[in-house]
A and B are shown apart, each in its own frame.
Chain A
Amino acid sequence: MNSGPLLRVEDAGRDFDVSRPWLDRVIERAPRQLLHAVDGVSFEVRRGETLALVGESGCGKSTLARLIVGLYAPTRGRIAFDGVVISDPANHAQTASLRRRMQMIFQDPYASLNPRWRVREVVAEPIRVLGLLSSDADIAGRVAELLKQVGLSPEDGDKYPHEFSGGQRQRISIARALSGQPDFLVCDEPTSALDVSVQAQILNLMSDLQAQLGLTYLFISHNLAVVSHVADRIGVMYLGRLVELADAQDLFARPKHPYTRMLLDAVPDLEMSGRQRTPVAGEVPNPLSPPSGCTFHPRCPHANERCARERPALVQRGGTAAACHAVEENRI
């Protein structure tokens, strides 16, 4: 059981009911309206690796992160952590102890820390809640150790979050996440609110911590360059579905899915090689009325009649899995 993947997501889906109020629906005879934020996603996260999920806004990557840590319940599908299905309420007794092993780091360090608490209280809360240590002296010692681990000084524990810059606050968030001694961290855009020089500090810190503590990361980001720096494997999402899943090197060297190719083409060129960016035609469609078949087909240069009709499944080929008829039929 312990040699399998740490996390397995099978056909997970989450719908949000965005219907009009009941009375309006009755009067206007309007149907219920469901938004499929995550629509049948399956993947595994192996022990000790960093799996990154990338996609544009509204692709469902943050919803997926919340499904995994249990902030939302999945509408469909199963999520198993260390072999136990945590999305099933029947396994409640077991899941409580498993949930301790996963923590989440949020995007905005200005919103995720309680402004009325001193930093040492913020960091100590998970230790107290999970009952990891009991004496105050032990807890204080552990908090000091955690603050040092993330590059702050133990004296910083007496300050309030507003006294810190954005990067330092994100360090506090990381210390808090680590205080429960998790082995799996779900990081939802952990650096996108930060300036580049600070982002580099946090990314380096995260990779150091992974090496020291043997952590497994699920790293959610919209920034392909950031992802290329931290990830072992990368999943690309589009309108609630996973369209490509590959090793980081393969994905950047040989992108398969037309959407992945398009995303890579759209990344600004810092090397100034004179490469012309191919701007993408069109925009992400309204998720309330996604296109038929492959949801990418209206923007895809390789789309044909089958793409408009039939939804492609994620097919593994070599090191890369892609959900694309054109790739499957060797058209591209």
Chain B
Amino acid sequence: MTATPVLEVRNLRIEFPTRRGTLVAVDGISFAIAPGEVLGVVGESGAGKSLTGAAIIGLLEPPGRIAAGEILLEGERIDLLKGEQMRRIRGRRIGAIFQDPLTSLNPLYTVGNQLVETIRTHLTVDASEARARAIALLREVGIPAPEARIDHYPHQFSGGMRQRVVIALALCAEPRLVIADEPTTALDVSIQAQIIQLLKRLARERGTAVMLITHDMGVIAETADRVAVLYAGRIAEIGPVREVVRGARHPYTAGLMGAIPKIGAGAGKHSARLVQIEGSMPRLTSMPPGCAFHPRCAKCFERCTVERPEPRPVGPNLAACWLYE
């Protein structure tokens, strides 16, 4: 191992105690992100990708709780930190970008106010210095005329511009890690491309590690260095983006890739049928034994129904599948 990874998650398990028993939403997830690396986390709704992100920044909604495993930020455990201690890390060392830029900004304060407040909370600078820094940040995220725009309220910005403000807010204390949860989902395609390029450029320039959570494989293919594919709270496959997108080892990843409509030569109605994965992801209350994907898997055999596969090296990837035993 060379440098310490910025983020390391080991065997993370998130549980929700309910009256009808404990639901395991995330079950034994492990991964690491190196400085300057973008790790894409994909999965369908309910796969546990947002919960994993929330657990890392310490924003897991009760009754959800981390039942097992460790989260290390630059080699130091953060999953045991409480309230005030965690608050100092959040914003300072971990920045967060959420899906809806309108709800992540306070509508009653100007964006300048919010940026200056965040900067002064985490860094020891005076007000005028913080304002200069906020203007520089707004310029860096591509907001035209930042000197004037800094005194505007969030509703005076368009969706794409608002998301740029949120990115500026996440980056203002120079965090080591940014968790971006569906940052482009609420945006139109033409704006999406701008935001993705921005995120990628900033991560590269500053050496910030990025955990990019999304359901959109296209966004991952363009942005991420490595991808983790989540299914029913477990990692189905993890590996370099090219290997996962073009040479998926796990049957779920392969099916997922085939299910995505592509713009290609054979456009039009007479193009090939989309690959169809029958059924849908199991509910947490009725998780199948063995491999969670086995009831939908075309290549399922006996062992899959009884024994749970752990991620194991398959070529350059790790895949949790008995096919590669």
* CB <8 Å contact, A249 and B267: yes
**A267 interfacial by beta-carbon distance below 8 Å:** yes
Residue of A nearest to B246 (CB): A272
* CB <8 Å contact, A228 and B268: yes
User: How long is the Cα–Cα vector from A272 to B261 in the complex, in angstroms?
Assistant: 15
Q: Which stretch in B8-16, B31-39, B74-82, B191-199 binds the other chain?
A: B191-199
User: How long is the Cα–Cα vector from A266 to B191 in the complex, in angstroms?
Assistant: 8
**A131 interfacial by beta-carbon distance below 8 Å:** no
Other-chain residue from B196, B262, B269 in contact with A270 (beta carbon distance below 8 A)? B262
* CB <8 Å contact, A269 and B221: yes
How would residues 256 to 291 of chain B score, 1 for a CB under 8 Å from any chain A CB and 0 otherwise?
111111111101110101111110110000000000
User: How long is the Cα–Cα vector from A232 to B268 in the complex, in angstroms?
Assistant: 6
Residue of B nearest to A58 (CB): B188
**A152 interfacial by beta-carbon distance below 8 Å:** no
User: How long is the Cα–Cα vector from A277 to B161 in the complex, in angstroms?
Assistant: 19
- Residues of B within 8 Å of A249, CB to CB, are 267-268
How would residues 193 to 233 of chain A score, 1 for a CB under 8 Å from any chain B CB and 0 otherwise?
00111111101100100000000000000111110111110
Q: Knowing A224-B263, A225-B260 are in contact, say whether A268-B190 is a contact too (CB < 8 A).
A: no
Q: Knowing A165-B280, A197-B44, A279-B197 are in contact, say whether A229-B189 is a contact too (CB < 8 A).
A: no
| Most chain A beta-carbon contacts within 10 A, residue among B245, B246, B267, B271 | B267
* CB <8 Å contact, A195 and B190: no
Nearest-neighbour CB distance to chain A for B40, whole angstroms, equals 12
- Residues of A within 8 Å of B217, CB to CB, are 196, 270
Q: How many A-B residue pairs have CB under 8 A?
A: 142
Which residues in window 266-302 of A have CB below 8 A to B? 266-272, 277, 279-280, 283-284
**A43 interfacial by beta-carbon distance below 8 Å:** no
Number of residues of chain B lying within 8 A (CB) of chain A:
48
* CB <8 Å contact, A272 and B194: no
* CB <8 Å contact, A228 and B221: no
Q: Knowing A195-B44, A197-B277, A280-B194 are in contact, say whether A225-B263 is a contact too (CB < 8 A).
A: yes
User: How long is the Cα–Cα vector from A271 to B245 in the complex, in angstroms?
Assistant: 8
Nearest-neighbour CB distance to chain B for A32, whole angstroms, equals 23
Residue of B nearest to A201 (CB): B276
**A327 interfacial by beta-carbon distance below 8 Å:** no
Q: Knowing A56-B190, A268-B219, A277-B193 are in contact, say whether A229-B271 is a contact too (CB < 8 A).
A: yes
Other-chain residue from B189, B193, B241 in contact with A56 (beta carbon distance below 8 A)? B189
User: How long is the Cα–Cα vector from A262 to B215 in the complex, in angstroms?
Assistant: 23
Other-chain residue from B192, B216, B245, B269 in contact with A266 (beta carbon distance below 8 A)? B192
Q: Knowing A226-B261, A263-B189, A270-B262 are in contact, say whether A200-B218 is a contact too (CB < 8 A).
A: no
User: How long is the Cα–Cα vector from A56 to B193 in the complex, in angstroms?
Assistant: 13
* CB <8 Å contact, A284 and B276: no
* CB <8 Å contact, A196 and B256: yes
- Residues of B within 8 Å of A262, CB to CB, are 190
Nearest-neighbour CB distance to chain A for B137, whole angstroms, equals 20
* CB <8 Å contact, A268 and B261: no
Other-chain residue from A57, A231, A280, A284 in contact with B193 (beta carbon distance below 8 A)? A280
* CB <8 Å contact, B269 and A207: yes
User: How long is the Cα–Cα vector from A272 to B244 in the complex, in angstroms?
Assistant: 11
Which residues in window 161-213 of A have CB below 8 A to B? 165-168, 195-201, 203-204, 207
Which residues in window 228-269 of B have CB below 8 A to A? 241-242, 245-246, 255-265, 267-269
User: How long is the Cα–Cα vector from A200 to B264 in the complex, in angstroms?
Assistant: 16
**B160 interfacial by beta-carbon distance below 8 Å:** yes
Residue of B nearest to A210 (CB): B269
**B45 interfacial by beta-carbon distance below 8 Å:** yes
Residue of A nearest to B186 (CB): A57
* CB <8 Å contact, B245 and A272: yes
Nearest-neighbour CB distance to chain A for B76, whole angstroms, equals 35
Given A267-B189, A277-B222, A283-B190, list of 18 further CB < 8 A pairs?
A: A196-B217, A201-B277, A222-B188, A222-B189, A225-B261, A225-B262, A228-B267, A229-B271, A232-B268, A232-B269, A253-B265, A268-B192, A269-B221, A272-B221, A272-B241, A277-B193, A279-B194, A283-B158
Question: Could you list 29 examples of A-B contacts with CB < 8 Å?
Answer: A50-B269, A165-B280, A195-B215, A195-B280, A195-B281, A196-B215, A197-B259, A197-B276, A199-B259, A200-B258, A207-B269, A223-B261, A225-B260, A228-B262, A228-B271, A231-B268, A252-B267, A264-B263, A265-B193, A266-B190, A268-B193, A268-B221, A270-B257, A272-B221, A277-B193, A277-B222, A279-B194, A280-B191, A283-B161
